Amino acid sequence: MRFLMWLLTYAAGLSVAAWLLDGIWFEGAKNGQAELQDKIVPLLVVALILGLVSTFVEPVIKLISLPFIILTLGFLLLVINALMLLLTARLADAFDLGFHVDGFWNALLGSIIVTIVGWGVRVAIPYRG
């Protein structure tokens, strides 16, 4: 149950980011039932990739860059989150999932959106497991 909540939280954040930003998108139909059919599996797989990147790669990067994080008063964390979203897009491209992020600024805004939506989902649906 915890894994499912984790996956759906990332999927919700990614879908909102793709909906709000023109520079983040999934390939496929643009409207209606066809859009849902074309994009639900890639969305869940990309959410899984983002979750794995956030679990295994991000802590190592944060540990290595800890002095710079302190020096920048934590603002480097925004850059790290954006780079993790770009890495997720590269991995999704390698697996031909049709997920794209155009450039650093879209990744930065997208990572902020994913974080805020994830926080909102966790507040709205608290997990008691």
Note the pLDDT tens digit of each residue in 63-88. Answer: 999 999 999 999 999 999 999 999 99
E strands present in 15-98: 24-26
The ranges assigned to domains in the chain are 2-124
Q: Is the pLDDT assigned to residue 2 strictly greater than 90? A: no
pTM of the model: 0.93
Rg (CA), the chain: 15
Mean pLDDT, the chain, as a whole number? 94
Q: Is the pLDDT assigned to residue 125 strictly greater than 90? A: no
- Chain-centroid distance, C-alpha 20: 13
Question: Of 101, 91, 118, 108, whose CA–CA distance to 22 is shortest?
Answer: 101
Residue owning tokens 């710079």: 68
Alpha-carbon span 46 to 114, nearest angstrom: 13
Q: Is the pLDDT assigned to residue 128 strictly greater than 80? A: no
Note the pLDDT tens digit of each residue in 11-38. Answer: 999 999 999 999 999 998 888 888 888 9
